[in-house]
Chain A
Amino acid sequence: MAYSQKVIDHYENPRNVGGFDKNDPSIATGMVGAPACGDVMKLQLKIDANGIIEDAKFKTYGCGSAIASSSLVTEWVKGKSIDEAVLIKNTDIAQELALPPVKIHCSILAEDAIKAAVADYKSKHQQ
Chain B
Amino acid sequence: MSDIKLPIYLDYSSTTPVDPRVATKMAECLTSDGIFGNPASRSHKFGWVAEEAVDIARSQIAELVNADPREIVFTSGATESNNLAIKGAANFYGKQGKHIITVKTEHKAVLDTCRQLEREGFEVTYLNPEPNGLVDLNKLIDAMRPDTILVSIMHVNNEIGVIQDIAAIGEICRERKILFHVDAAQSTGKVAIDLQSLKVDLMSFSAHKTYGPKGIGALYVSRKPRVRLEAQMHGGGHERGMRSGTMATHQIVGMGEAFHLAKLEMAAENERLMMLRNRLWNGIKDIEAVYINGDMEHRVAGNLNVSFAYVEGESLIMALKDMAVSSGSACTSASLEPSYVLRALGLSDELAHSSIRFTMGRFTTEAEIDYVIGVIRNAIDKLREMSPLWDMYKEGIDLNTVEWAHH
Contacts and interface: CB of A to CB of B under 8 A. Distances in A.
B348 interface: yes
Nearest to A11: B318
B395 to A, nearest CB: 11
A35 B404 CA distance: 8
A77 interface: no
Interface in A38-69: 38-42, 59-64, 66-67
A102 to B, nearest CB: 7
Contacts of B311: 61
Given A35-B404, A36-B350, A63 B388 contact: no
Contacts of B338: 38
B407 A109 contact: yes
Given A3-B318, A34-B406, A35-B389, A63 B329 contact: yes
Interface in A7-59: 8, 11, 14, 17, 19, 31-42, 59
A33 B407 CA distance: 6
Interface string A60-102: 1111101100000000000000000000000000000000001
Nearest to A71: B386
A47 to B, nearest CB: 20
A82 to B, nearest CB: 19
A32 B314 contact: no
A61 B404 contact: no
A108 B406 CA distance: 12
B386 A60 contact: yes
B399 A35 contact: yes
Contact of A37 (B313, B334, B406): B406
B211 interface: no
Interface in B387-403: 387-391, 399
B388 A37 contact: no
B151 to A, nearest CB: 33
B6 interface: no
B349 A64 contact: no
B385 A17 contact: yes
Interface in B348-377: 348-350, 353
- Give the contact-size bracket for chain B: 20 to 34
Given A33-B405, A37-B336, A63 B389 contact: no
Contacts of B348: 35-36
A33 B404 contact: yes
Contacts of A39: 312
B386 A41 contact: no
A63 to B, nearest CB: 4
A118 interface: no
The interface centre, meaning the residue of A19, A31, A35, A40 with most chain B CB atoms within 10 A of its CB, is: A35
A7 B386 CA distance: 16
A32 B402 CA distance: 12
Contacts of B388: 31, 40-42, 59-61
B315 interface: yes
Given A14-B386, A60-B388, A63-B331, A35 B318 contact: no
B103 interface: no
B74 interface: no
Nearest to A62: B312
Q: Which 7 pairs between the two chains have the least Cβ-Cβ distance?
A: A34-B404, A36-B349, A35-B350, A63-B314, A42-B388, A59-B388, A63-B331
Given A39-B312, A63-B329, 5 more contacts: A36-B348, A37-B336, A38-B349, A62-B312, A67-B386
12 contacts: A11-B318, A19-B391, A31-B405, A33-B405, A38-B338, A40-B404, A60-B387, A61-B310, A61-B390, A63-B329, A64-B315, A64-B318
